[in-house]
Structure 1
Amino acid sequence: MAFSLFRFARFLRSIFVPTASIIAFSCLLTFIFVLYQPTPGPGSLQKLGWQSWDTVNDLTGQVSGSSRPADDLESPSSGSSVPEGVDWWNVTTSSDDLDVASLPLDVWDPLMQHDTGSCGAWLKTYLSVSEIHITECLVDPWLIPSMASEFCTPPSTKEDDAKKGKWVRVERNLKLQVSMKSLNVYYRSTRRHDIPLVTEIRVLPEKETPSPFSHSWIKVAHPLNPFGEKRYLWYKAEKTWRDMTDAERKSDLITEIDVLFGSDQPWYGFERVQQATYDGGGPREPVWLTYRKGVKPPPRAPPLHFSRDGKFKIMQIADLHYSVSVGTCRDTILSPCTESDNLTTTLLSRVLDIEKPDFVVFTGDQLNGQMSSWDERSVLAKFAKAVVDRQIPWAAIFGNHDDEDGMSREAQLRYLQGLPYSLVERGPKDVHGVGNYVLKVKSADPSMTHLLTLYFLDSGAYSSGVQDWWGIFHASDYDYLRQDQIDWFLQESSSIDAIERPFTPDGAKDLGSVWKRQAADQVLPNSKRLAKPNAMMFFHIPMQESGAAADVDPVTGQPLDVGNVLEESGASKKSAGFFHKGLLQAFESDHRAGRRATEVKVVANGHQHNSDNCKRVKGVWLCFGGGGSYSGYGQIGFDRRFRIYDISDYGETIRTYKRTEHDDVLDDMILVGRGAPPPFEGVV
Structure 2
Amino acid sequence: MSKTLTFREDGTFKILQFTDVHMGDGVDGRDKDAHTVALMERLIEQERPDLIVYTGDLCWSHGVKDPEQGFRLAISPAVKSGLPWAAVFGNHDTEEGVTREQLMDVMLESDTCLAEPGPEHLSGVGNYMLPIQSAGGGEVKALLYFLDSGCEAPKHIGGYEWIHGDQVEWYAGVSKEMTAQHRSPLPALTFFHIPLPEYDAVWHTGSVISGKKFERVCAPKMNSGLYARMVEMGDVMATFVGHDHDNDYIGELHGISLCYGRTTGYNCYGKLQRGARVIQLIEGKREFHTWLRLENGTVLK
CA distance in 2, matches of 1:371, 1:341: 17
**2:62·2:97 contact (CA, 8 Å) conserved in 1?**
no
- Counterpart for residue 583 of structure 1: 230
Q: Is residue 311–residue 651 contact of structure 1 (8 Å, CA) maintained in 2? A: no
The 2-side partners of 1:375 and 1:610 are apart by 28
Equivalent-residue separation in structure 1 for 2:256 and 2:204 (angstroms): 9
Q: Which protein has greater RCO, CA pairs closer than 8 Å, 6+ apart? A: 2
SS in 1 for 2:37: helix
* 1:414 paired to 2:105: yes
CA distance in 2, matches of 1:438, 1:563: 28
Q: CA deviation at 1:346?
A: 0.5
Per-residue deviation, 1:311: 1.0
Cα deviation for residue 380 of structure 1 reads: 2.6
Q: Which of 654, 670, 674 matches 2:288?
A: 654
> Does 489-498 or 617-626 show the bigger shift?
489-498
Post-superposition Cα deviations, 1:404-440, rounded to whole Å, max 9, x if no partner, equal 1221111221121112311110111111111110000
For residues 316-362 of structure 1, what are the alpha-carbon distances to aligned partners after superposition, in whole Å with 9 as ceiling and x for unaligned?
0000000165x646xxxxxxxx6111111101111111111110100
Q: Give 1:613 deviation, angstroms.
A: 0.4
Mapping for residues 84-95 of structure 1, pairs under 5 Å = none
Q: 1:378 to 1:324 in 2, by over 3 A?
A: farther
Pair 1:625 & 2:278 matched: no
> What's 2:146 paired with?
456
Q: Paired residue for 1:426?
A: 117
> Hey, what's the Cα distance between the residues in 2 that align with 1:301 and 1:404?
34
Give 2:23's aligned residue.
Answer: 322
Q: State the Cα distance separating 1:497 from its structure 2 match.
A: 4.0
Counterpart code for 2:41 = S
Report the structure number with the largest CA radius of gyration: 1
What TM-score, normalized to structure 1?
0.42
Q: Contact 1:310 / 1:651 at 8 angstroms: preserved in 2?
A: no
* Structure 2 residue runs without a partner (length 5+): none
How far did residue 651 of structure 1 move? Answer: 4.8
Instruction: Indicate the residue corresponding to 1:495 in structure 2.
Output: 177
Aligned to 2:163: 481
Counterpart CA distance in 1 for 2:257 and 2:181 is 23
Task: Supply the distance in 1 between the matched residues of 2:33 and 2:217 (Cα, whole angstroms).
Answer: 26
Cα deviation for residue 301 of structure 1 reads 5.2
Q: Do the aligned partners of 2:61 and 2:97 also contact (CA within 8 Å) in 1?
A: no
Q: Against the structure 1 CA distance between its residues 568 and 643, is the aligned structure 2 distance closer, same or farther, given a 3 Å change threshold?
A: same
Structure 2 counterparts to residues 396-407 of structure 1, below 5 A: 396-407=87-98
1:365 is matched with which residue? 57
Match of 1:611 in 2: 247
> Which contiguous aligned blocks of 4+ residues in structure 1 show a shift greater than 6 angstroms?
none
**What's 1:573 paired with?**
221
CA distance in 2, matches of 1:417, 1:351: 23
Q: Matched residues in 2 for 1:452 and 1:639: separation?
A: 31
Map 1:119-268; keep pairs closer than 5 Å: none
Report what 1:342 is aligned to. Answer: 34
By how many angstroms is 1:644 displaced?
Answer: 0.4
Structure 2 counterpart SS, 1:531: coil
Secondary structure in 2 matching 1:383:
helix
Contact 1:321/1:365 (<8 A) preserved = yes
Offset of residue 454 of structure 1: 0.3
Q: CA–CA distance in 1 between the matches of 2:57 and 2:202? A: 27
SS in 1 for 2:106: helix
Distance 1:536 1:343 in 2: 30
Deviation at 1:499, TM superposition (A): 7.7
| Aligned residue number for residue 9 of structure 2 | 308
Structure 2 CA distance for aligned equivalents of residues 650 and 494 of structure 1: 19
Cross-structure match for 2:238: 602
Q: Does structure 1 conserve the Cα–Cα contact (< 8 Å) formed by 2:237 and 2:286?
A: no
C-alpha change, 1:476 and 1:551, in structure 2 (3 Å) is closer
Q: Quote the Cα distance in structure 2 between the aligned partners of 1:607 and 1:426.
A: 21
Question: Are 1:498 and 1:533, in contact at CA under 8 Å, matched by a contact in 2?
Answer: no
CA RMSD of aligned residues (A): 2.1
Q: Name the amino acid aligned to 1:495.
A: E
Alpha-carbon deviations, 1:658-680, whole Å to 9, x = none?
011111111x2xxxxxxxxxxxx
Do 1:324 and 1:378's aligned partners in 2 also have CA atoms closer than 8 Å? Answer: no
1:630-649 equivalence runs, <5 A: 630-635=266-271, 638-649=272-283
Please report how far the alpha carbon of residue 608 of structure 1 lies from its aligned counterpart in structure 2 after TM superposition.
0.7
Kept in 2, the 8 Å contact 1:399–1:540? The answer is yes
CA 457–564 in structure 1, closer or farther in 2 if over 3 Å, else same: same
Aligned residues between the structures: 301
Give the Cα–Cα distance (whole angstroms) in 2 for the partners of residues 455 and 549 of structure 1. 21
What TM-score do you get using the length of structure 2 for normalisation? 0.93
Q: 2:197 maps to which residue?
A: 544
Q: Percent identity?
A: 31
Deviation at 1:656, TM superposition (A): 0.4
1:525 maps to which residue? none
The 8 Å contact of residues 400 and 461 in structure 1, kept in 2 or not, is answered as: yes
Tell me, which stretches of 5 or more residues in structure 1 are unaligned? Answer: 1-299, 330-337, 467-474, 501-529, 554-558, 587-597, 669-684
Distance in 1 of aligned mates of 2:176 and 2:88: 23
Counterpart secondary structure, 1:464: coil
